[in-house]
Structure formats: structure tokens, C-alpha cells
Amino acid sequence: MLIRALLLLWIQLARTALQINHHTTALIETTVQVLQRSFQDPFAAACIVWKGSTPETELLLGDLLDAVIVRLSGSIPVQLNVVEVQTQRRPWVRNVLLVDDYEAFRELRSDLSIERNDFSGRYLIVVNSAINETFVQKVFIDLWKLQIANVVLIGIETSQPKLWTYFPFSDGICGQARSTTLTLEDDLYPDKISNFHGCQLKVGSFETRPFTIMDRSDEEKLRMSGFEGELLDLLKTRLNFTTKIYEPENGEQWGYALQQNSTGLVRMIQEEEVDFGISCMGISVARNEVLKPGIAHYTTALVLAVPKGRPYTAIEKLFHPFQIEVWWCITTVLLGSTIVIASVERANENVRNFVYGNRVQAPYLNLIRIFFAISMERLPTRNFARTLLFYWIFFCFVIQSLYQGALYRYLQKDSTLPPSKTMAEIDRTDALYFVVESAERYYSSFPHRYKRVHHLPQEKNNIINRLKWMMHHPETSNVVMGALDHMAHHNHLYRRKGGFIDVCREFVSTYTVAIYYPKRSMLTNRFDWEIMRIQASGLMSYWINRYGDYDFFRKVNDASHPKKLSWEHLSAVFEICGVLLGLCGVVFLLEIVSDRYISMGRVYLKLYCRRRNLRN
């Protein structure tokens, strides 16, 4: 009986509440129409929260909510403000707030957060009481502080439900919450930033060519070019806004992304000093935790610029015409011929005459004579000996012709050792890794590389400046990390001036570039839509190719006219001549000294007598 009595009492209170609020029916009808028109999404439920200033008014809001849900008849999915089971989920895109006065609204507003609510989504505020323009204006000002602009407010004015919204950007209005009325026939949630009406947005950026190039003319305000500057200019034209560019203080660039005390451009965006940041901003987990990324408008690679390599010495150039395998083959043939001669030398005179020919002396010297195209003193008379001689002359003739033809061309070239093609080859050198400060994270998993990381100075164009330094210091072994586009831009500027920079064939990482916004920004969706249209048109590829030379493997053609040989080209010949003269001097001194030392004299006498016997 007690339960039955309580149930009847609750039903009577509900009926009394509905009878007192005679305007509730019209308010419910208007709310249902707005929800059915603008909140139907099978993949996005509407999150409904309510708050009353007193227990009685909260009970009335509960009755209002029950009636709305009944009228919807399951046409849209809803989620009431219950404790969520899932600890992580996407922020609510459809949000409905039921209140009875301004204080109740402020309490619900304080519960809105970027983790739980998408501030760029749709919001419906239903006020179950009589309100006026002052109330509406206060609500919209509070919402604009959170950059919530896609909002419709329903309230009672002159005993009838009425709809309000606001446009933060319109003719003569920039970033202000000025309310305007709607009807159910209007577009309740139009795109409110498709036209900024010439309003100014604050842009955070810094110079890092070719992504952003700053024009620092004193006569005009700071302007930006580069292919991201081109992108920004087109966005300005399509959305009709102007910009004012702000640079990080103290020459900082990207900076570190932290929950507190971030630095550089990241700090400016996080603290909402600017409306968005654009300057080769790579998408990363750390930045996504404190900032709101836009769609990726460009994907490139992080690479290492490597030096050309040490120039070949004059001695090395003498061996340059043939590859190492050819030199090994020539050495093997000479060594084999020497072994054959040594074996024949130990045989009797008939064998020597058969192989060398009658009265042919100094076979070792004859071997060297023919190898260097020097005539012989005496030719063999036997057929077998002549056949061997013909074979050796033919072999040496081919080798000499090929070598002499290639030698002249290689002597004139400023040949250098090949640059490092892999990171493993770089690791085998003593090279230092010069990187921007925020990019050292790419080496934290490689201690042997991390200890060799050096930060580039905090200055504009620090990567391009370091590449220019490498161009003037080819002897360095250090490498520079940057985007592939930094290297291509440098080659675009200095290739014809002899400043071509090679890159390591292995990529450090893929680098995806996007515009970053504050977490509460309302600009993201509209900017993403425009950027996707620009990408589909092919304009990004066109702009990128204007600022860079991406042909990293082009072969440089040799000069079409001959060059005079200089001392650098022929110094190796004189060095070898000096070494051989020194060797002759040593032999001469040994012969003089041999007269004073009996043991050394015996060796020379033994060699002399043996050769005398061979001649006889």
C-alpha cells in the first residue's frame, strides 16, 4: 500500500507541474523539431544533460526530458548524463543542455571540457523559463569564450518559444557574440566561418625555407611566402580573412610540447596567443596531446644531408680508371708470370732456350718492358717463345689502351669518395648529427647516435644555413637532418653554383605536416575542408616543385672541351718518380757499402756470378 501511495503521489506531482507550465507543450514541440532536423546521426548519439536551480525545477526539467524522449520515438540515439563506463571515447559532437536559469547554465558550462565535448560540434540549449535578450547575450558570450559557435538556444519569450543563435564573424563584427533570432524554417546550424568578412586572424609561424619564407620589409607588415605561405594565401582568399603573423620569442622555433611550460610555437598555440600555427609542423603524439591537429596537407621524409666525401689523392687517381677487381686480375697475371719465370730459371739451359729463346737474357726485365710498352733488346727465334711473346704483347696492349684512355678523363675530374648511402655507413665514421632541438627524439632509441647529436642554433633558417656551411666546407664529415624539402630547396638555389648536397638513401622517418590549432578552436573543420579541395586540385604539388630541385641522383655532365693538366693532376707521377729515384739511390749506396762488408759483398758476387753463368 505504501509503494502504491508513493507512486500515485509522484504521478499527481508530475501532472501538477505540467499544468503549471502551460507553455511546456510548445517548448517540447520546438525542441523535438530541432533535434529531428539537426541531430539525426546514426553514428553520433546526442548527449543530454540537465540542471535545475532548485529540486522542484530540476523535477520539471526531468518531466520535460521525458516528454521529449517520448516524442522522439527513438528517431535519434541519446545518451543521458550518467557515469560513463568507458574511460576513453570520442568527445560528444551532439550536445543538449536543459536548464531553467543562468546559474544552472553556468554550472553545466563549467562541466564542458575538450576531453568530453567537441567544441566545434552542435549544441542545443533549452531554457524552461521566460528569458530576454540580456540572458541570451550573457549565455552566448560565455560560449564564445570556449569558441562554441554552432549553438541554438530555445527559450520562452512572451509566452512563446523562440530560437536564438549568433554569428561571430559578419559585416562589421569580428569575434563577437551578437545574438540573432531564428525560425524553424531557417538553417539552424549553418557554416558560420565560411566567410570571415575580412576579419583578422592571428597566425603563429617562423621562417624555415621552403615551407615558410618571411618578407621582413620595413614598409609593410610581416608577410609570408613559401609553399605553406601559398597555402595560407589561398585560404585567406577563399575564406575572406586577413592575417597578422607572430613569431616565437628569442628565436625559438617548434619548441617542446608539454602539458605545462611548453616552448616555441607550440606554447603560442597552446596558450591561444594565436589562432593557429603553420610552419612545417609535423604531426606527433606529444603535440596532439596539447594541440588540435588539422588534416595532413603534405607528407615528406626526414633525411640526412651527407658531405660529398674526401677528394681522391693524386695517387688514388692513378688507380681510378680500373675497378679494384681489374687491378686484382692484373696483379694475379703478373704474379703468375713471375712464378713461371722463376720456375724456368731453375731448369736447364735447353728448357730456358725453349721458353725464352736463344741468348735472351733478363726475362724479369723483359716482362716489365713489354708491360710498359718498351721495346726488347733481343727477340726470340723459336715459335713457342714467339707465341708467348705475342700473347703477352697483346694482353699488355689492350690493358695499356684502356688505361690511357680512361686516365686522362679521370685526371681532370675533381673526383671524391662516394657519400655515405646508409646510416650504417655514417655510424662507421666520426660524423656528428646536427638536428633541430625538438627533433632529437628520433635518436633517443639509438644511444650510439644520440651521444653524437648536436643542436642547430636557434635562428631563422638554421637548417638551410647549415647546408650552406656544408657547401663551403666539403672536408667535414658531419651530417645535417632536415626534411627532404630543405635539401631540395638548397639544391634549387645552389646546384648551378657547385653547391649540390647529397642525401642519405635511408630515411630517418616519415614526416607528416599539418596546421595546428588550440584545443578549443572552431577553425579546424572548415580549414580541413578547404585544404582537401586544394590537395585534390594538385596545387600543393605545383607549389612544392616551385621551391625545390628533387632530382638528387642526376649525373653531372663532364665539360665538353678539354682542360689543361695541372700540377694537381700530375703530382702523383712526380711522386712516384721521386720514390723510384730514392730506391735507386739506396741500391747505389748498398753497392758502395758492399765493398766494405764481406758478407754483403759475397751476396752481390753470388748474384753476379749466377747471372754470368746464365748468359754463357
Please, where are the H alpha helices in 483-566?
Answer: 484-494, 524-537, 539-546
Output the pLDDT for position 262.
92
Q: Is 368:334 a contact under the CB 8 Å cutoff? A: no
pTM strictly above 0.85: no
Helix (H) or strand (E) holding 342: helix 324-345
Question: Pairing state of beta strands 292-306 and 509-517?
Answer: antiparallel
- CB atoms inside a 10 Å sphere around CB 482: 29
Q: 616552448: which residue's cell?
A: 263
Distances in Å between the Cα of 85 and the Cα atoms of 81, 91, 93, 115 are 12, 14, 18, 15
Q: 530576454: which residue's cell?
A: 132
Q: Which amino acid is at 612?
A: R
DSSP 172: T
Fold topology of 193-311+418-563: D-Maltodextrin-Binding Protein; domain 2 (3.40.190)
Output the pLDDT for position 162.
93
Ranges of residues in the chain whose predicted pLDDT is under 50: 8-9, 12-13, 16-20, 558-560, 612, 614-616
Output the pLDDT for position 150.
94
Q: Is 154:124 a contact under the CB 8 Å cutoff? A: yes
Rounded Cα distance, 441 and 449, in Å:
11
**Of 85, 99, 147, 151, the residue nearest 127 (C-alpha):** 99
Beta bridge partners of 416: 311
Per-residue model confidence as pLDDT tens digits over 132-158: 999 999 999 999 999 999 999 999 888
Q: What is the rounded end-to-end Cα distance, in angstroms, of the chain?
A: 147
Rounded Cα distance, 604 and 598, in Å:
10
Output the pLDDT for position 592.
74
Query: Residue 159 burial (CB < 10 Å; 0-12/13-18/19+)?
Result: exposed
Query: Residue 507 burial (CB < 10 Å; 0-12/13-18/19+)?
Result: middle
Per-residue model confidence as pLDDT tens digits over 493-539: 988 887 888 999 999 999 999 999 999 999 999 999 999 999 999 99
Helix (H) or strand (E) holding 69: helix 55-72
Q: SS3 for 134-162, per residue? A: HHHHHHHHHHHHCCCCCEEEEEEECCEEE
Rounded Cα distance, 142 and 166, in Å:
12
Output the pLDDT for position 468.
92
Fold topology of 20-182: Rossmann fold (3.40.50)
Rounded Cα distance, 579 and 586, in Å:
11
